[in-house]
Amino acid sequence: MAEKKRLKDLTVWQKAYIPEIAKGLALTLKTMFKPKFTMEYPEVKFLPPSSYRGRPVLVEEAGGEERCVACGLCARVCPALAIEVQAAETEREKERYPERFEINMLRCIFCGFCEEVCPEEAIVMSKDYEMVFNNREDAIYGKDKLLVSVSQLQDRINFLRSHK
């Protein structure tokens, strides 16, 4: 085992730390000219790929109708118990729709289980990662915040179909 140098064995040059400071500065200078891996958020936004799992959202058809049939599977599979669905009947073809659909974003762990289990492709993980709440109530997202047009989610839907 190499013997440890004691403080009194160091030269004056070493005690002044000048070589180490110079080495540190050289490393900083070298790193400054390397390509950056960081982004100046929020001025520069991160554009996630289609595999990204941002906040879960409900798919709204082009005509403005929601895809969800209120089967409740997503709520049952959610490990964080973040989803609450209240079904109601409708005159339309699909018969049932969610009268109330809420996701508690303080509970959600972005696992994507809800998306995986949905038989209707009605809930998908979006690319949205910007969420701000000032209190617990604001973190409970209802249909007003959850419904997103299918055209904005096509990228993710295509990704899911290609990986099934």
* Whole-number Å distance between alpha carbons of 6 and 58: 66
Retrieve residue 92's tokens.
């339309």
Provide, rounded to whole angstroms, the least separation between the CB of residue 126 and ligand SF4: 11
Residue 48 three-state SS = coil
By CB under 6 A, what part of segment 92-121 binds ligand SF4?
103, 108-114, 117-118, 120
Provide, rounded to whole angstroms, the least separation between the CB of residue 59 and ligand SF4: 8
Residue 59 three-state SS = strand
Nearer to ligand SF4, 9 or 93 (CB): 93
Element spanning 138, H or E: none
Provide, rounded to whole angstroms, the least separation between the CB of residue 26 and ligand SF4: 46
Provide, rounded to whole angstroms, the least separation between the CB of residue 123 and ligand SF4: 4
Which stretch, 7-15, 79-87, 133-141, 149-157, contacts ligand SF4 (CB under 6 A)? 79-87
**Residue 146 contacts ligand SF4 per CB under 6 A:** no
b/e 118-148 (16+ beta carbons within 10 angstroms → b): beebbbbbbbeeeeeeeeeeebbbeeebbbb
Between 32 and 71, how does the x/- string for binding to ligand SF4 read (CB under 6 A)? Answer: ------------------------x-----------xxxx
CB of 28 closer than 8 Å to CB of 35: no
Provide, rounded to whole angstroms, the least separation between the CB of residue 134 and ligand SF4: 21
**Angle ∠(138,139,144) on CA atoms, nearest 5:** 70
Name the residues that contact ligand SF4, by CB under 6 A: 56, 68-74, 78-80, 82-83, 85, 103, 108-114, 117-118, 120, 122-123
